[in-house]
A and B are shown apart, each in its own frame.
Chain A
Amino acid sequence: MSEAEELLSTPAEWDLPPERHRHFKDVLMQQIDHDTAVTPRRSRLLRPAVLVPLASAALTGALLVTLSVDGGGPATGPAPSATAAGASVTLNRIATAAMASDTVRVRDDQFVYVRTLVRENTGAFTGPIRLGALHTEERWTSQDPGPLRVTGWIRASGKDAIMPGQMGPIESTDPVPVGVDHPTYRWLASLPTDPDALLARLREEARPVEGESRDQAVFSLIGDLIGGTVMPPANAAAFYQAAAKLPGVREIPDAVDAAGRHGIAITLDDTGFATRYEWIFDKETLALLGARFYITDPDRGITTETLAGTSAVMETAVVGAKGEVPARAAAR
């Protein structure tokens, strides 16, 4: 047999020494461990929404609730009754309230600080949900337009927190430019304030995962973008007005956030997809309180809709550096 023939007839002619293979396998495993331990963006399906009252930082002080130690989080249960008629009306009221909120300006060299209370799924990816204990999560989101490998920092504390008390980077392998994965104040401010134009833009930007409709992906994307960010009131209002135009948005008259605060929830009709988000708003001020995240996945043995994550926004601020906390939080 000729040499060239030999080269091609053997499926894998060349190989690395075993120690090189061990090294590269180790690189892969470390990345997996890193992503599953630190990066909350590991999967859209499994990531509980962390939502922030955008452009309503001034309101959050009034909404602060003192919590008991064990939190009193919501229990798993069937989907609450929902009404479609009220959802658009409510979202437009929410938009009006957002429009009336104070303008907070954010510079490129600053960080948006958000403190939330969260309960997350601590079960295996492929098994049943095991909701962990309520704990605090703080995030510092960089406003540097980048592209950045590290778009922010996260610190969790309390029982069932991952790496409690340690600052961990929110990191990507490839540098991330401003956009849906790195939503800075300036980028959000550059988006259309006309709801139809914004919706068209979001439909382009949304990346539906397997089995997800584009509308569901847009709804999730809006949740991602109004959470953990600060933006001008006109942009915030446009996001809610855009959401009001999505087919299948529903209002749930009473929902509870991770801090035990009751409010009105907005969700998107379950159309067979595995997950459902609810955004929860204060009944009086219409400020965003937090979110709940449900999952139904018979392949994982989850045959009835089960609460898989919940959050409550406790504080939003603009700070000068990562690790810096607003005065009130520092005094706690």
Chain B
Amino acid sequence: MAEPDRARIRGGDRAAFGELYDRYARAVYNHALRLTGNWAEAEEAMSETFLAAWRTRETVEPEGGSLKPWLLGIATHKAYNANRGLRRRLAFLARSPEPRPVEDFAEESAGRIDDARRLAVVHRALGRLGRRDREVLALCVSAGLDYRQAAEALGVPVGTVRSRLSRARARLARLSAEEQGRTGMEPPRAHGEMESEAALAALFLREETR
């Protein structure tokens, strides 16, 4: 799955959008999942992201690298809107991700419950931060964008990404310390069971951004 050419995307080439979907649907879905913490909302946000990409194709810069920052930028807004809508409708869902409905295969359902638990870990950690901190962490740390790409996705200067990320990390560090102080947990180790927010926070702190 090659990166579709920007000119083809700008020109509304149907096949190019098919390639764009094949290449990035999974990354967009994961980004939306981390930010919404909800399977159904993430699906919807992903679908809406590609529809919005189609509608706003003319805004793509003719020159540039990967289209991933553009898509994740759209997905960030869609996830934010989904979260707002979700909170209006069912406040508890945002805090407690539900597993996807179990389908045909029994062996899959075990995997999905595990998925749900793991998603809950990530979403709870991100959920304790403010929107801007959460978004910059999800883009830079989880989705693997560099500062410049994250700046492109969020439509802010690179310096802003840098300062938001450092602030977000500081907040995570504080949360992590509070968590450990409260529970008396040992500091996170390189192996063993680590699924608390503190462990995740520690990971964010260690992660080097490119």
A interface residues (Cβ-Cβ under 8 A, vs B):
1-5, 7-8, 11-17, 20-21, 24-25, 27-29, 31-33, 35-36, 42-45, 125-126, 173, 209-210, 299
CB distance from A26 to the nearest CB of B (A): 10
Q: Could you list some 9 contacts between A and B, CB below 8 A?
A: A3-B118, A4-B195, A8-B141, A8-B142, A28-B21, A28-B51, A29-B18, A32-B17, A42-B12
List residues of chain A with CB within 8 A of the CB of B188: 2
User: Do A126 and B25 have beta carbons less than 8 Å apart?
Assistant: no
Q: Is B153 an interface residue (CB 8 A)?
A: no
List residues of chain B with CB within 8 A of the CB of A21: 25
List residues of chain A with CB within 8 A of the CB of B203: 2, 4-5, 8
User: Do B50 and A210 have beta carbons less than 8 Å apart?
Assistant: no
Q: Is B199 an interface residue (CB 8 A)?
A: yes
User: Do B103 and A2 have beta carbons less than 8 Å apart?
Assistant: no
User: Do B30 and A173 have beta carbons less than 8 Å apart?
Assistant: no
List residues of chain B with CB within 8 A of the CB of A28: 17-18, 21, 47, 50-51, 54
Q: Which of B17, B43, B61, B200 contacts A24 (CB 8 A)?
A: B43
List residues of chain A with CB within 8 A of the CB of B61: 210
User: Do A17 and B7 have beta carbons less than 8 Å apart?
Assistant: no
List residues of chain A with CB within 8 A of the CB of B141: 8
User: Do A125 and B121 have beta carbons less than 8 Å apart?
Assistant: no
Q: Which of B14, B143, B194 contacts A2 (CB 8 A)?
A: B194
List residues of chain A with CB within 8 A of the CB of B118: 3, 7, 13
List residues of chain B with CB within 8 A of the CB of A5: 194, 203
CB distance from B127 to the nearest CB of A (A): 15
Q: Is B191 an interface residue (CB 8 A)?
A: yes
Which residue of chain A has the shortest Cβ distance to B199 in the bound complex? A4
User: Do B14 and A25 have beta carbons less than 8 Å apart?
Assistant: no
Number of interface residues of B (CB under 8 A): 52
Q: Which of A1, A24, A36, A299 contacts B25 (CB 8 A)?
A: A24
User: What is the bound-complex CA distance between A17 and B105, given in angstroms?
Assistant: 12
Q: Is B26 an interface residue (CB 8 A)?
A: yes
CB distance from B163 to the nearest CB of A (A): 22
Which residue of chain A has the shortest Cβ distance to B118 in the bound complex? A7
User: Do A3 and B194 have beta carbons less than 8 Å apart?
Assistant: yes
User: Do A15 and B26 have beta carbons less than 8 Å apart?
Assistant: yes
List residues of chain A with CB within 8 A of the CB of B190: 1-2
- List 19 extra interface pairs beyond A2-B199, A36-B12, CB under 8 A: A2-B189, A2-B191, A3-B195, A4-B200, A8-B142, A13-B30, A15-B29, A16-B25, A17-B103, A24-B47, A25-B21, A27-B51, A28-B50, A28-B51, A31-B51, A36-B14, A126-B13, A210-B10, A210-B58
User: What is the bound-complex CA distance between A25 and B192, given in angstroms?
Assistant: 39
User: Do B7 and A173 have beta carbons less than 8 Å apart?
Assistant: no
List residues of chain B with CB within 8 A of the CB of A2: 188-195, 199, 203
Known: A31-B51, A126-B7, A126-B11. A8 touches B195 (CB 8 A): no
User: What is the bound-complex CA distance between A7 and B18, given in angstroms?
Assistant: 28
CB distance from B17 to the nearest CB of A (A): 6
User: Do B8 and A126 have beta carbons less than 8 Å apart?
Assistant: yes
List residues of chain B with CB within 8 A of the CB of A16: 25-26, 29, 43
Known: A32-B17, A32-B54. A11 touches B43 (CB 8 A): no
CB distance from A33 to the nearest CB of B (A): 7
CB distance from A78 to the nearest CB of B (A): 25
Q: Which of A3, A12, A25, A36 contacts B30 (CB 8 A)?
A: A12
Which residue of chain A has the shortest Cβ distance to B60 in the bound complex? A210
User: Do A7 and B11 have beta carbons less than 8 Å apart?
Assistant: no
Q: Is B158 an interface residue (CB 8 A)?
A: no
Q: Which of A7, A20, A44, A209 contacts B121 (CB 8 A)?
A: A7
Q: Is B27 an interface residue (CB 8 A)?
A: yes
List residues of chain A with CB within 8 A of the CB of B7: 126, 299
Known: A35-B54, A125-B11. A27 touches B17 (CB 8 A): no
List residues of chain A with CB within 8 A of the CB of B143: 11
